[in-house]
Structure 1
Amino acid sequence: MYALVTGASSGIGLKYATELASTYHCDLVLVSNQEKELQETTADLQSRFGIKTVAVYKDLSTETAAEELYNFCAEKGIEIDILINNAGVFFFNELTKTEERRVNLMLHLHIRTVTNMCRLFGNDMKKRGRGYILNMSSMSAWMSMPGISTYNATKAYILNFSRSLWYEMKPFGVGVTAICPGAVDTGLYGLSPYWRKVAVAINVSMRPEKLVKIALKKMFKKKKQSMPGAINYLFVPFIKHLPDWAVFMVMKKISCFQK
């Protein structure tokens, strides 16, 4: 059984790849735009767990990335049974102060590529009558968050897209799961090592290993969505009732702790 993981050379993606190899004994197609780290990860997982690994060095923010990746797998005769759309970017900034290049990168990576990956690989799963798709959304998808307007809008798209696709694919035996974590202890948010430790210690941030274990269990149960972490269930209803200006103040304070 082959699993395809995007953003697989670091952070949450690396944890997904490791958990799929160690616990579920999946062969892996690992995709990343970090070539050196990707090659090291591929060799390491193959050596440690005796699985087949295929490394694909690719920028997934390009217009044809999903089609190229799908065609690569088809040419190699690799059937993808598990699709983990994990690759993503994050930055604090007001939209009008953000370069067009960075805005487009996020829109293309989070929306166009995720959609087309689901369309292409999902169609094969549908024909086979089995398969799992996991899309990484975010807790921020449930609310308006000034300062990360583009990010939380794209994550809201992923959440609602995944929920709708769940209904479309359910009759064909294919599961679609949206994972909506809060803060996760990776380098994605740009926090200093000190503040990362503090965030984990007070349960504001979750270890990626814990997140991945929960997420994969939900995926294999074909759950529509999951928001790992009990604190998140309490936080979302609370913050939904805050005015946008108050949320913006919180986000500005958080941005001060970046490197």
Structure 2
Amino acid sequence: MRKFSPEYLRRTREGMWDDSREALQDLSLSDRSRVLDVGCGTGELSAVLDAESPGEVVCLDADPELLRVAREATGLPVVAGDATRLPFPDDAFDLVVCQALLVNLPDPAAAVESFARVSDDLVAAVEPDNAAVGVDSTVSAEVALERSVRESYMAGVRTDVALGDRLPDIFEAAGLRDVRTRRYFHRKVTEPPYDELELEDAARKASGAGLASHETELRRTLSDDEYDALYRDWREMGRSVVEQMQERRYRRAEVVPFDVVVGRVTD
């Protein structure tokens, strides 16, 4: 299981579902009585589920630090546990859902089977299609560099971070039926005035810290010379980002497609 800091999760999920919740329609949230958010992280989806459902929402994660943040942010009950061995009896919930979890698990099918065991109605997964991320930036080098890093990272990471069309097959293999898919586009825009997190992100690009956090995965596919060249180019790009921010002319837009897959448990 890949681990993430609370700060990283907040940055990547900030604003998600604020623009539209139409893609969650098949979860029938207004009819739910007991909902489990698996791999809740810092609780962003948990808060949406709580707002849209009259039932109780329970947050589960394997990371105690993330659970602490989720509890403080949402006030919802939290449980520590493994997504592939959920610590609940059969049919304990009428909706079990996760967001950006399966792409980080070595065995996503085992997790979906566990979801189906503890649900007596619906199972859902909201997973990013990382192969289809789109980036536009006023720093021209940023677009090509991010594409290169993303491709190398996806080749080097040891989980399937672009499940894409495989998700419905995983659901059906777990015995789920009436499997439906909707797509949601999470758009993140950086533009003046910049907030503290955006300034920190720019500083991490200029220092190389953002790239270095993925060094292990990148070095699995890049030679030492290729990684060192990428690192130099990344830092130079980061310095350009900082310069444009100081002049208040830096703008960046990122669009991450998410597939919302829902299936029904059969008797």
Q: Normalising by the residue count of structure 1, what TM-score does the alignment of the two structures yield? A: 0.46
Look at both structures and tell me which one has the larger radius of gyration over its CA atoms.
Answer: 2
> Could you say which structure has the greater relative contact order, defined with CA pairs below 8 angstroms and 6 or more residues apart?
2
> Which structure features the higher share of helix residues?
1
